[in-house]
Chains A and B, each alone.
Chain A
Amino acid sequence: MKFKEIENFKDYCERIRNKKRKNIRIKICITGCRAKGALDLYNEFKKREDKEIEVIPTGCHKFCSGAPVVKVKIFSKDYIYQNVGINDIDEIIKNAKKDKPVERILVKDKKFFELQEIKVLKNCGEVNPVDIEDYIYYGGFSSFLNVIENFTPDKVIEEIAKSKLRGRGGAGFPTYKKWEIVKNQVSDEKFVICNGDEGDPGAFMDRTLLEGVPFQIIEGMLICAYTIGANKGFFYIRAEYPIAVLHMSQAIKECYKYGLLGKDILGTGFDFDVEIKKGAGAFVCGEETALIASIEGKRGMPRPRPPFPAEKGLFGKPTCINNVETFANIPIIINEGGENFSKIGTEKSGGTKIFSLAGKVKNTGLVEIPLGTPLWKIIYEIGGGPIEGRKIKGVQTGGPSGGCIPVEYFNTPTDYETLAELGSIMGSGGMIVIDDKVCAVELARYFLDFVQKESCGKCVPCRIGTKRMLEILERITKGNGEIEDIEKLEKLGSYIKETSLCGLGQTAPNPVLTTLKYFKDEYLEHIKDKKCPAGVCVELFEYVIVEGKCTGCTLCKKNCPAGAIEGEVKKAHKIVKEKCIKCGVCFNVCKFNAVERK
């Protein structure tokens, strides 16, 4: 049903919002949790629908370490269950009908949710991602209607300026400024691009938003297009996100069906078409000029700026590129008003930020918190601290462009400026917690290896400079490092930062420079003592059996492929250094933790 007038559509929205829903609504994440069998779980639950129970497929519930996660809404109370199996279905339904939770599978760590400030992700895990009616039921498209009826483009920009929203892709450029520049360009054609090429290893918030609330992003884009005067938009989504592409294309189709996209939207005379462009596996395409080249169908190589895409972008026309999360914030700003929105956050940047928390931490998942929240709160309180028996050493933010921040600086408020001062960046919001079993030098090597592979090869500092840095780091992790290497790394790093063409190269040395700054001891141990304190760099440690712990069970001896373990039953065993190939089998099979890396 295509709506040709605003009034008709508004009536329709009103009707949907007043519709009585069933008392018990069971919401199953079928996106991230799919990896843990959520699709089968959903199908089983779906069979149990009756006049009281509605089963809804949704996006992410944020608590990903408990996958599959199921939310049961009884009237307006929410119960969130973790690690739900098909065997739990009967009990969940039986108890729901008695208005009772199933205590044993409730998410125990209440802090994980209580300490968050959930705004952008509010609808994620609530609505069916591809059902437009469900989105409307939860207030969807009210911002767009408000804008198209009551706002001039200048007024939209004013609200966004008041909100202090800054680009969520990483660089933190004020959104209103970008929009204003594009709006003021005189051109027969303008474009809007949503950058969903979330290539940073360790980041998954854009994936979650694209999969969980595609309509919210379309709504943000519609408001942008209306404001800057664009009639054509593109979603650039990486090929590694098949569910995101699927949900977004279904959502776009629905919008066309309802007359919210296409020619003469809701009879207002405003035309806006969107199209999905799939990436093809190139990290550099997250850089805006490279992304534009990729949409044009060319090699995804960046070009020098200026001219900025806002002046000369896609096909040489003014183009507004924003990150997925930035667009997802727009409907909220319009609903709340820019000033209210900016009450949360810091003086320079308003609102919340979604971080993806992963690595060596108890609770992994999505964390939405006001900008400026200190790191320890995210990692220790919301994240639940280290994995049993380990010690957190630091956190890696911003992926390959970011850096490692040590525990000593966990009081730092997470903000664009403060993280930059520490030598890292906010980036798109990936946070990988590292503990004492992660080697800082090896981690730096890992990132350099990544950058090396992903460098497009256009400019020399990035192509060759990172290669030389990688070689030095490889040398150090193999025990062949020299003390001069540290200075070489520092020098090379600063040259590459200053002279590279695009963001990829300019930030590539960050992981090395920050680890050098904060974990220099580890570098020195690798170089001088030829030891890897974390027991990661194979050439720099030995497997040793601790006499007191070994029970003489012979398991390691039986499994050793090199015959390097000696010892009799019920007596402590020994590893013969000369024969050991450091495969780690003994370490993995020992039930008494008697094998150690030293």
Chain B
Amino acid sequence: MSAREDILKAIAGNKPASAALPAISFDELIQYADVLAQFKTVLQSIGGVAEEIADFDALKKEIAIKKETGEWVINRIEALGPLDAVDNASATQLEKLDVAYIQGTLAVAENGCIWLYESQMGNRIVPFICQHLVIVVDAKNIVPTMHHAYQQLDTAKEGFGVFLAGPSKTADIEQSLVIGAHGARSLRVFLLR
């Protein structure tokens, strides 16, 4: 008998009597008067920066300037220009990536996170390996809680996805918060109205 068989048999023999799943009612969830304001407040508290924009002019200009000054920029947002194809790039190849611009699917007000699909990233490592990360999300795609997010998303649609909340951080050294651990050192979020 394999370990698999042994384990499953032991579990089947030892598991308790059937208990029902709970009924989760959205009526019991926190409601925010202004989800956008809540999202901005929370994002700020976790080390990110949020700004509302009406169009992409400023961002396009920003990308142009960065490229001019020699920063390596990867753009994954169609509205900002041609998409950089990075599917087959290795970590070694992407190591020196300075800034990545990624489109987010939706944002969650209660905790400042944004869902990114792999297809939006272009390459799974991009949002982690870049020094600085910029994400654009439609303001109308801000939902109150994670329950709403999972209701709207199909998180199993692609091979990888992430809820990303702010820049990377750690407090492992005597509980002192340091922004910028192994992932991006900063996160700027632009909410398109």
The answer to whether A and B interact is no
Instruction: Enumerate chain B interface residues (CB-CB to A < 8 A).
Output: none
